[in-house]
Amino acid sequence: MLDDQGNLSIDFLAGMTIFMIALIWISTMVPGLLITLQGKTIDYDAVAYRTGAILVEDPGWPASPPWDNLNDLQKGDIQRFGLSITKDTPNVLSLHKINRFFCSTAFSYPSDYQSRLIFSNFQYLFNISLSTFDRTINESLGDVKPDGYGHIRRYIKIKYPSNTTILAPNYLNSGVSGGLSDNTTTHVFSVQLNCTQLIWDETNVAYQINPLTEQIMVNISNLNNACIFNPCPPNLISLSSIKIYRQNPSQPFGQVREYLSSDPQFNVYIDGSNTPLPALDPPSVNVNNNVSVIFSPGFFFGMASDSSQMYVNYTFTLANPDNFFNNTFTTPYHYDYNPVRVTQPLLKEGVLEVAVW
């Protein structure tokens, strides 16, 4: 190359060309080195969408028994939050799961939620709000939204559990015991939850009464008018016990639980009191007019299966023998899909919004 003609040899040209091609190729890859450093800001909307989908369409994990049955100390067992009733009913949410999810005493923002809902190495902050259209439920969780955030809005229906109200004067002992003594001091009233029938009769989980996973509420009212001469004399009626019996194809009929002392999942309210009964102690408690029992979701899960029939037996003791609220000689009160007897589960519309930043 050491002449003054200003030409290059072909060899040099070829070599230089290849070198330049390689150089340009490498320089195009330089921006790719910076990709991992900027990942968090690109997809707020994607994280919001994924979080919304998990909340609305997924029942969470563990799914059966559902994660909302675990108490505060067991929250380490919850792997994923999800508000849907089951995976077959997307957009239909369980009221109990919603209450558990927004419970600030059980879970703390943001750490408890990030590991069970956001699933990212980067610690996203978020705000989740849920409300029904009529604003009877209006829950919110998280920080105040800043100026730029990813967002998704989902529409939902919330399933309200069933309940039944039993009017005592309709279930008197008289006239049905067929000659056996009507006037006694001990009266037993039985409510039946036939799990097999309940699960078979309604296959759509959104409308199903499932004692294994849902709240069951039984209100007995108007006890004051359930005597021969109404109203009943004062201090006549005492509630001695509430016992739960189980009938399984494979096991003998037997008692599985009795209300003895305060059980967080088995709450008894006497005469419209706001606090549950601490104990049936002394072994009977005076009742004037109402007894309400609320079985929290998951109460029956450990003791029953979908082939069981459960019986809840109330034993009332009267100070004097009288004709009273008793179905010992007729059939148990069926807690089923009869809308006259039982208020059926109801769905209510709502909206859920997730903001992530």
Which three-class secondary structure state does DSSP give residue 69?
helix
How far, in Å, CA of 29 to CA of 333, rounded? Answer: 75
* Residue 182 · residue 324 · CB < 8 Å: no
Please, which of residues 210-239 interact with another protein by CB under 8 A? none
Q: Closest separation between CB of residue 143 and another protein, Å?
A: 14
Stretch 178-207 residues interacting with another protein (CB under 8 A): 199-200, 202-204, 206-207
Per-residue burial over 36-48, b if 16 or more Cβ lie within 10 Å, else e, is eeeeeeeebeebb
| Residue 260 within binding range of another protein, rule CB under 8 A | no
Q: Residue 243, interface with another protein (CB under 8 A)? A: no
Per-residue binding string, another protein, 31-70, x by CB under 8 A, is xx----------x-xx--x--x------------------
In three-state form (DSSP H/G/I as H, E/B as E, the rest C), the secondary structure along 79-101 is: CECCCECCCCCCCEEEHHHHHHH
Q: Which is nearer to another protein, 69 or 208 (CB)?
A: 208
Is 143 one of the binding residues for another protein (CB under 8 A)?
no
- Token representation of residue 324: 């009273």
By C-beta, is 43 or 271 nearer to another protein? 43
State the Cα–Cα distance between residues 122 and 296, nearest whole angstrom.
37
Pick between residue 269 and residue 337 the one whose CB is nearest to another protein: 337
Residue 322 · residue 228 · CB < 8 Å: yes
Query: Does 319 participate in binding another protein (rule CB under 8 A)?
Result: no
Does position 6 interact with another protein (CB under 8 A)? The reply is yes
**Strands 163-167 vs 309-322: parallel, antiparallel or unpaired:** unpaired
**Which residues of the chain form contacts with another protein (CB under 8 A)?**
1, 4-8, 13, 16-17, 20-21, 23-25, 27-28, 31-32, 43, 45-46, 49, 52, 90-92, 129-131, 133, 138, 140, 151-157, 199-200, 202-204, 206-208, 306, 337, 339, 344-349, 351-353
